[in-house]
Amino acid sequence: MTRRSALIDTRVIYCGDCLDQLAALPNHCVDLIYIDPPFNSNRNYEVFWGETKEKRSFEDRHASTQAYIEFMRPRCVQLARVLKETGSFYYHCDWHASHYVKVMLDQIFGENSFVNEIIWKRQSAHSDAKQGSKHLGRVHDTILLYAPGEDYYFKHLYKPYEDEYLEKFYRHVEPETGRRYQLGD
């Protein structure tokens, strides 16, 4: 049975703690959720933003990983509530808490709603594996994708191959149509 989705005004930016803001939204009204929340990095951040160099800061220190998870849990419960059955949910995190986040999200969305673990790999270790360090470079973030319904919206994005690639891997041309092809097993 498909649940009815509520409509909300999409021209509004809601500011404040997402826990309070989400509580005011109806069930199943959102198509796509991507969150880039604090990662449990045990740091506080200050960034200077935009042309006016406005100072923005947020705290990412928690008493423990469990405390971080208990901070995020009610917010993710609200996010799961507002997500449509055809919607999808992306949680961006990293090695600090990704394994604990996965378990929390399995509990909220259900293990069977887990779709993908997406690895966002950096080109370099950003000095994370400098001389003297006692670990390998931590070079990726993790994005966990959940979709509550089987019929969730998902579209692969394709773009044309570069000419150089086509010439190298699709060397044969069908005379009648001019279409390129490759020989394979």
Ligand X SMILES: C[S@@+](CC[C@H](N)C(=O)[O-])C[C@H]1O[C@@H](n2cnc3c(N)ncnc32)[C@H](O)[C@@H]1O
The distance of closest approach from Cβ of residue 38 to ligand X in the complex, given in angstroms and rounded to an integer, is 5
* DSSP summary character for residue 144: E
Minimum CB distance to ligand X smaller for 34 or for 153: 34
Q: Cβ neighbours of residue 67 under 8 Å, at least 6 residues apart?
A: none
Query: Residue-wise over 98-107: b if at least 16 C-beta within 10 A, else e?
Result: bebbbebbee
Minimum CB distance to ligand X smaller for 18 or for 129: 18
In angstroms, the CA 177 to CA 160 distance is 18
- Amino acid present at 133: S
The binding site for ligand X (CB under 6 A) comprises 17-18, 36-38, 58
Minimum CB distance to ligand X smaller for 37 or for 148: 37
The distance of closest approach from Cβ of residue 45 to ligand X in the complex, given in angstroms and rounded to an integer, is 7
Closest CA to 113 of 141, 89, 78: 89
Minimum CB distance to ligand X smaller for 58 or for 181: 58
The distance of closest approach from Cβ of residue 120 to ligand X in the complex, given in angstroms and rounded to an integer, is 13
Minimum CB distance to ligand X smaller for 19 or for 119: 19
In angstroms, the CA 78 to CA 91 distance is 14
With beta carbons less than 8 A apart as the criterion, state whether 144 and 117 touch: yes
The distance of closest approach from Cβ of residue 72 to ligand X in the complex, given in angstroms and rounded to an integer, is 9
The distance of closest approach from Cβ of residue 92 to ligand X in the complex, given in angstroms and rounded to an integer, is 8
Q: Give DSSP secondary structure letters for 42-61.
A: SEEEEEEETTTTEEEEEEE-
